[in-house]
Structure 1
């Protein structure tokens, strides 16, 4: 991740030269597009003054309103099963756009709660794909960066050396995506977890308050 990463000359202990966004313009544009889509009033003209600005910045093609409506992405449709209607395809695409544009900016959890898609947080975290053991150049500079091995640990100065099956786990055993935190059992209670529990001290201060459902 290089988002909000400045030049190396600004690397100082306990100090940052980065501005902290309070309300980022990209979020304004995405909020506008999503609201119009949910209301059923979104048009290509609305996309052109919102999502297109984000895509132009990185030389990506614009989102085509009619194409997105006509061909809802089946992968996204499996993630968001409660999205339906004539605007299904475009709503799914805007949700994809939020996930990409706002990554690592602390929006994802609130979006998932707002969309009533809590089961997405129970998925297994996965890292990059490796076809098997061996040396890999991850940044394309012609120099190996990582060595995944089995058996006796090799010696290679400057490389990150990881033992398959203990220091790194791959989805298919000897190949596949990296499995992250495999022993964490992630659960989401659909009857409870869309709301936070009210703090005990607030309940004590005001006897008229009732705890949120299933948090008692």
Structure 2
């Protein structure tokens, strides 16, 4: 039996819907939120490190939530169970948040001054984000590297010396005198790199969905 035009149109519409991923701008929104929030917090930290500690502590579960949501596409491409993926994310970030809780309850936080505790918090967040990127969502590798780089710059005034060779490489004069501008530039570069990964992942998802729809 031949299919009617209406049946063909309905089937085509269903296949089109099954491969639809939404707009790229909406897919980029979580990354935009992460990078903008991180740059704002870093700028505030340079002026008042102690005052930003509560904001950074609040930022940790925000990063965890976005990490959980943004990695489902990669889990789909890998044929990984969504339940297993969710458990991995919950365990990963649960350990990070639990460690911060232990720092407070076991007296470690009280033994550290605000500057040292903030550096521990930022390095821990950067490392956790890097590991989440390696194991669950490659986009987060760049965000984690960005956080680690900025934390190193914030750790001590003499660390800005690392900006000089970077500035020479990219033709930026007196880069060591422009730490905030260099950190913003690093954020832009990391965001663009993560965007390329996202575009590649969307292509892989679309290819897999098309193959599934044809099967």
TM-score by length of 1: 0.28
Larger Rg: 1
- Answer 1 or 2: which has greater helix percent: 2
Higher relative contact order (CA 8 A, sep 6+): 2
The TM-score with structure 2 as length reference comes to 0.28
